[in-house]
Amino acid sequence: MLTSISSGFMDHSQGPLNRLPDLAVTAAYLVLITWFGARFKKNQRSLKDYFLGGRDAPWWAIAFSIVSAETSTLTVIGTPALSIAGNFTFLQLILGYLLGRIVISVLFLPQYFRGEMFTAYELMQRRFGPRVRKFTAATFLVLRALAEGVRVFAVSIVVSIVLGTGELTSIAVIVALTLFYTFEGGMTAVIWTDVVQMFLYVAGAVASFFVMLHLIPGGWQHVLSVGESAHKFQVFDFRFSVSPEFFKRTYSFWGGILGGCFLATASHGTEQLLVQRLLSARTERDSRLALFASWGVVFFQFVLFLFIGVLLYTISRDTGRPLPAVAERSYPEFVWTNLPAGVAGLVIAAIIAAAMSNLSAALNALASTTVMDFLRPLIPKRSEADYLAWARWGTVGWGCALFSIGLIARHWGSVLEAGLSIASVLYGALLGVFLLGVLTRKPGELAAITGMTAGFTATLVLRSQVAYTWYVLIGSLVTFGVGYGAGLILRERKPELANA
């Protein structure tokens, strides 16, 4: 079997001529997607156009954009690494994502579609006041900048494999190209390039799956046999105990369902990166359709990438070829060195597509929060043209910041879990204060800020004691509980409710 698989490899990793078709495909993609995104510049006449796409995109395009925004190179290269080293228990977290979407559709979407909002944090000003708006907006800026830095570094792994460049050059290439079309085309460019890039990276993953499967003698039956013998297909872990070991186990059923629910509610319901897409829908109904449709695509792609990890594990076991020391390199290295010429270029372009779509979304969301939640309230009564210019240059500023953070993120360990854990530390306090605002009437500004501070502190203190899947739940409960308690004690002016 080892001989058969080895002879099936294309191994075009050596020789520039063998790589020309792949380099051509990858380069063509980078040029075309940058050109495509920049074409939307003519539609950017106002802040509504630049930050909400003029609220003119159909719900299905927003659904695909949501998927692209929550998917990144972390997913593409990090998910196969999970099933190479472990099994399918990560899917328990994805089931929790569905519950989170139900919570968002019931609690948050009706609030967001009362009046015209540009950012999620305007809801916090409406409910609590300007200080809470700035506090939550600043939390998002820190959260997204750190998490996106990990994602920028993740794609540099792929680009460095393809181009043979160092990490600094690889990061610079991706940030510069994505920054160009995001600067020019705003949210409209982000949504429609997301649609193109989502189809590309899913098509690339499907293509690589079938090519890998073809290289394995015995085909699917052999993969199932190897996977079952190694317990790769285990999805549920129902073990439960009130012990430190239980809470340190990353992917249990209870941690996955509860942690996934709280994580999705926080990321899709309170973070500008994804709320911005929900606000870009024509109606609340379209926003809800996009939200739930996106879950089906997300579930499919995670299953696909976990199966790709099992294929890589099978090939490594059958051939005796060791996997890379950095597990996240396994998928892109195999693709680049073993898939047929042209197909490898397509799959690598697909991985880069996932990174660029997420990065463009982050740049636009960071710029929108900076302008709408900080600069515009601070410097009112300026022309729409001035604000639009600030939005574009805010995008450039955040591009430079993410480039710097991407260089630092090289030392943060496993890229998928690093990205999720960084986000989870801050998500808890964000979600807790949003729930406090939507579900209660008594607490005011100071109570909300007190609750958020307590939520941050609790998560930071306990993060070494529990798995990251529990971070959001802990931060949310502490923020809500302390904020509600402080609201009973502190005498504050009764806040102006969102539905008043």
pLDDT, tens only, 45-70: 788 888 888 888 899 999 999 988 88
Q: What is the pLDDT of residue 165?
A: 67
How much of the chain exceeds pLDDT 70, in percent? 89
| pLDDT band, residue 450 (cuts 50/70/90) | very high
Q: With contact defined as beta carbons under 8 Å apart, do 73 and 79 qualify? A: no
pLDDT of residue 486: 93
The Cα angle at residue 151 between residues 361 and 78, in degrees rounded to 5:
120
Which residue stretches of 113-166 are H helix? 122-127, 130-163
For residue 280, which of 57, 432, 71, 14 has the smallest C-alpha distance?
Answer: 57
Average pLDDT, the chain: 84
This prediction's pTM? 0.84
Is pLDDT larger for residue 496 or for residue 103?
103
Query: How far apart are the C-alpha atoms of 468 and 255, rounded to whole Å?
Result: 9
DSSP H or E stretch at residue 111: helix 109-112
Residue 151 has pLDDT above 80, yes or no: no
Q: For residues 475-492, give the mean pLDDT.
A: 92
- Looking at residue 422, its pLDDT comes to 67
Band of residue 411 on the pLDDT scale cut at 50, 70, 90: low
In this structure, the number of other CB atoms found within 10 A of the CB of residue 414 comes to 18
331 Cβ contact partners less than 8 Å away, ≥ 6 residues apart: 76, 77, 80, 81, 208, 308, 309, 312
**Cβ-contact 495, 445 below 8 angstroms:** yes
Report CA 219 to chain centroid distance, whole Å.
Answer: 33
Find tokens 């997301």 and name the residue. 194
Distance of CA 262 to the CA centre of its chain: 15
How far, CA to CA in Å, does 338 sit from each of 78, 79, 215, 322? 19, 20, 10, 14
Residues 87 and 457: beta-carbon distance below 8 Å: no
The class of domain 2-412 in CATH terms is mainly alpha
Tokens of 322: 């060791």
Categorize the per-residue pLDDT at 2 as very low, low, confident or very high, splitting at 50, 70 and 90. very low
Residue type, 136: T
222-242 pLDDT, tens digit per residue, is: 999 999 999 999 999 888 877
CB 467 within 8 A of CB 250: yes
What whole-number distance in Å separates Cα of residue 180 and Cα of residue 407?
Answer: 20
**DSSP H helical segments within 252-283, as ranges?**
253-269, 272-279
pLDDT band of residue 7 (cuts 50, 70, 90) is very low
The confidence score (pLDDT) of residue 451 equals 96
CA dihedral 304, 305, 311, 317 (to 10 degrees): -150
At residue 494, the 3 state secondary structure works out as: coil
Over range 272-301, report the average pLDDT: 94
Q: How confident is the model at residue 168 (pLDDT cuts 50, 70, 90)?
A: confident
- Using CA atoms, how far apart are residues 438 and 431, in angstroms rounded to an integer? 11
pLDDT interval class at 9 (50, 70, 90):
very low
* Cα distance between residue 434 and residue 135, in whole Å: 12
The tokens of 304 are what? Answer: 């696909």
Who has greater pLDDT, 191 or 4? Answer: 191
pLDDT digit string, tens, across residues 317-354: 888 887 777 777 788 888 877 777 777 887 777 777 77
DSSP-based three-state secondary structure for 217: coil
Quickly state the pLDDT bin for 128 (edges 50, 70, 90): very high
In 442-491, where does DSSP find H-type helix?
445-462, 471-489
Contact yes or no for 312/330 (Cβ under 8 A): yes
